[in-house]
Amino acid sequence: MVIDFELSPHLREARAFYRRYAAEKMRPLSRMLDENEHLRPWEFLRDAWETSRSGAAPAPPPDERNLFTLLVIEEMSWGDAGLYLLRPGAGLGTAAIMATGTKEQKARFLARFREGDPKWAAMAITEPGCGSDTSALQTTARRDGDEWVLNGAKIFCTNGSLALAESDGLAVVWATVDRSRGRAGIKAFVVEARTPGVSVAKLEQKLGIRVSDTAELVFEECRIPADNLLGTAEVKAAATKESFRGAMATFDATRPIVAAQSVGVASAALELLKEHIVEAGQPLRYGRSAQRLTAIERDVMELEGDIEATRLLAWRAAWMMDQGQRNSLEASIAKAKAGQVVTRVTQKVVEHLGPVGYSRGSLAEKWMRDAKINDIFEGTQQINLLIVARRILGYGSDELN
């Protein structure tokens, strides 16, 4: 069997386009936006919105859509991971709607992202008392006639403020319709912008990806139409797996995206280190045995291998989605590997650059701060390793936790 790792001409063209875009439109803003958290770069955001809709960038064929997405995200994260997360578009909300919504709901909610002014979609799942254990969430939804009424709070919602307060966007909110039923009671609801009863409590101040909009949302008697519930309202034994599986299917789609973001940040950092090494008159000597290399040469080559391994794991998970295959194991493997690799790469780069890497005169220290979130969101390192172990060993959550 021959395995081909070459990208199609179309994907190579798209990759080159977004590398140019990242270099020209994103990288020059990195330091300024890092030092002015919550500043909205509206000129960039409007340009990003128009670029995504204008056809200037190559559009993917159906069987390459997820792989195309990963390539775009890798290049944009190479430019600036926080700015990539801040871009207008359907975002995380799309993954949740695609995973759990009906055909009519997908058409209705996603149509708005093809027209008008810039807008965002957020996903609201994490709560103050419920992080990785999504089955323990406390936000409630009760039926009242032709409406659902939401009450609760969500934290660390990427683009939560932009989606609900500053655009004609939406947020997919995970809530329980029956706490006594545990996972069976968890449902996803679409809350549209400026719906009465939803407010932005605060914007988080963060270690990295500081320009990213990360909000706390509060729902107080927030009323939404009954048909804004994604999927079925049934709470039955047969629906238990389907209900919670919808939330997990969202992560199957987004975890490879986090891996791609990690690759972009790690690649940016390692490229900077290699430039400094060459400028210092010490070319990297590939093809020599390990014992004849310097310590820094060995580090660089090992880090290059780690980045490439992460990239291929992410591509595999995306390719499986493009083929209509279930990728839960592969998505978690890619995400777990990526968090470790980007953290190690950026720390090593700062270490080898010394005072230059530690100084704000270089972006290396920023990339080290940006890297850490990849080991946390979309399921922490520990959670993803636990998922991998369960999948490989064939254990359920009640047998291995």
User: Catalytic amino acids?
Assistant: 378
CB-count burial class (<10 Å; 0-12, 13-18, 19+) for 274: middle
Q: How far apart are CA 244 and CA 100, in angstroms?
A: 10
Q: Which residue type, as a one-letter code, is found at position 97? A: I
Q: How far apart are CA 200 and CA 155, in angstroms?
A: 10
Nearest alpha carbon to residue 36 among 86, 103, 99: 86
Query: How does strand 214-225 pair with strand 198-203?
Result: antiparallel
Q: How far apart are CA 272 and CA 293, in angstroms?
A: 20
Q: How far apart are CA 281 and CA 32, in angstroms?
A: 31
127 secondary structure, DSSP code: B
What are the beta bridge partners of residue 238? none
What is the three-class DSSP state of 277?
Answer: helix
Angle ∠(383,318,323) on CA atoms, nearest 5: 125
H or E segment to which residue 198 belongs: strand 198-203
Q: How far is CA 94 from CA 114, 182, 346, 383, in A?
A: 13, 25, 30, 23
Q: How far apart are CA 134 and CA 144, in angstroms?
A: 25
120 secondary structure, DSSP code: B
The token duo for 171 is: 């947020």
Q: How far apart are CA 315 and CA 322, in angstroms?
A: 10
Q: How far apart are CA 250 and CA 264, in angstroms?
A: 22
Instruction: Please report the sign of the dihedral spanned by the C-alpha atoms of residue 15, residue 18, residue 23, residue 24.
Output: positive
What are the beta bridge partners of residue 173? 124, 189
